[in-house]
Amino acid sequence: MKKLSRQFAISDIHGCAKTFKKLVKDVIKLSRKDTLFLLGDYINKGPDSKGVIDFIFELQKDGYSLNCLRGNHEQYLIDGLQYSWEEIAFLSRGGLETLDSFRAKTIHDIPSKYLEFIKGLPYYIELENYLLIHAGLNFDLEDPYKDDFSMLNIRNMEVDLNKTGKRQIIHGHVPTAYQNIEDSLDFLNNHVSIDSGCVYRHIHALNHLVALDIRDRKLYIQRNIDYEMNTLKLVKGDITKLHVDVVVNAANNGLRGGGGVDGAIHRAGGPAIMEACKKIGGCPTGAAVITTGGNLPAKKVIHTVGPIWNGGNNQENTLLENAYKNSLALAVENGLKSIAFPNISTGVYGFPKELAAKIAVETVLEFQKNQESEIEVTFVCFDEENFMIYKQVLGE
């Protein structure tokens, strides 16, 4: 059956990049035939304003149809670029978080491609039956389109359809519980706010991002997931004793078993693990495969092969990074929520321990940052030396 093109509107993302991505990719499942209208306030308050704009750029690059409007928070940034006292106002309205996301000290340090994007945002878009705008229009004026400030800031309005060419207004800016948005989709007041207060994580009724299917007047809802912590833990001990969803084994290319952590896992898990390994046959360096956990408390074992240290100029760093990355990806793919890693390659394979710990921690943090689903990661250090190194790298 031919899939019809749809039109969606989303507003007030406020730096909640993970929630935004999830809503677009998994909830509405945006297709290239659809059009997505974003009604402003991409930045400020939330943790990852840069990530929100990066995702917009990514969608545009990948051929999705997007129309982005300006919000009052983008305006604060534009004003701050011009006047230093406005920069202070910007920072006090959640702009500090925006700077953090860019690792910028002042707004002038934000890379120009983002600033140009923000400066180029229009105030409104007219569709056949709807006017899309961040806040609304000042209908007290003869010509409400002359009042830019109200377009970005107005909170109460009585829509005069004669001044909008009979268009009803879809806007953001006014945080509204999504149940109330749903109730107001009959547009009794000729306007509807689709800002469900995504960034207000402490207010139970808000804390959601919604997408309105404009033609069907149907609301798609995603709870805010940006503040859910992906935890990182450090323990000293034997990985075979851990009650986690999956433990990682530092295996060899032939999955033949061995000494070190490999030997310990096969001993404690029993022959079912080796049987499964034999069926798989092997695993290239940096890749990962999954088997049963046998008699281990963990449900599964992911076998990955770290690089043998050979001086450092033979892709060792990248291969070790891949071993962590591919293990994590495989765990997520299998719906596993907690994973424990040994210090891969730092035993028989001779990888320098400090460098290995740095690569392990950075790779895991980067993965967790980009991952929409949660996964709890535990680093298990068997020897005291690695434990002390990890403590230092993790800043504990």
Active site residues: 262
Phi-psi region of 228 (alpha: psi -120 to 50; beta: other; left: phi over 0): beta
State which residue, 124 or 379, has the beta carbon closest to ligand APR. 379
State which residue, 258 or 270, has the beta carbon closest to ligand APR. 258
- Give least dist CB 279 to ligand APR, A: 18
- Give least dist CB 340 to ligand APR, A: 8
Distances (CA, A) of 325 to 13, 234, 242: 29, 18, 21
Residue among 102, 120, 113 at smallest CA distance from 40:
120
Take residue 13 and report the two structure tokens written for it.
Answer: 């993302």
Note the maximum CA span of the chain: 83
State which residue, 252 or 322, has the beta carbon closest to ligand APR. 252
State which residue, 198 or 339, has the beta carbon closest to ligand APR. 339
Distances (CA, A) of 5 to 127, 132, 180, 182, 309: 15, 18, 27, 22, 53
State which residue, 91 or 242, has the beta carbon closest to ligand APR. 242
Is the separation of the CB atoms in 135 and 154 below 8 Å? yes
- Give least dist CB 114 to ligand APR, A: 41
Give me Rg for the CA atoms of the chain: 26
- Give least dist CB 111 to ligand APR, A: 39
- Give least dist CB 87 to ligand APR, A: 49
- Give least dist CB 206 to ligand APR, A: 44
Query: What one-character-per-residue DSSP string does 6-40 give?
Result: -EEEE---TT-HHHHHHIIIIIS---TTSEEEE-S
**DSSP H or E segment with residue 390:** helix 384-393
- Give least dist CB 350 to ligand APR, A: 7
Residue among 221, 207, 206, 136 at smallest CA distance from 170:
136
Query: What one-character-per-residue DSSP string does 371-382 give?
Result: -SS--EEEEEE-
Neighbours of 378 (CB within 10 A): 17
State which residue, 139 or 341, has the beta carbon closest to ligand APR. 341
State which residue, 50 or 353, has the beta carbon closest to ligand APR. 353
Task: Write the CB contacts of 317 (distance below 8 Å, at least 6 apart in sequence).
Answer: 355, 359
Structure-token match 């790298």, residue found: 393
Residue among 251, 324, 335, 265 at smallest CA distance from 297:
265
- Pairwise CA distance, residues 18 & 51, whole Å: 8
Tell me, letter by letter, the H, E, C secondary structure of 114-158: HHHHHHCCCCEEECCCEEEECCCCCCCCCCHHHCHHHHHHCCCCC
- Give least dist CB 239 to ligand APR, A: 4
State which residue, 125 or 348, has the beta carbon closest to ligand APR. 348
- Pairwise CA distance, residues 242 & 228, whole Å: 23
The site for ligand APR (CB under 6 A) is made up of 238-240, 250-252, 258-264, 306, 342-349, 380, 382-383, 386
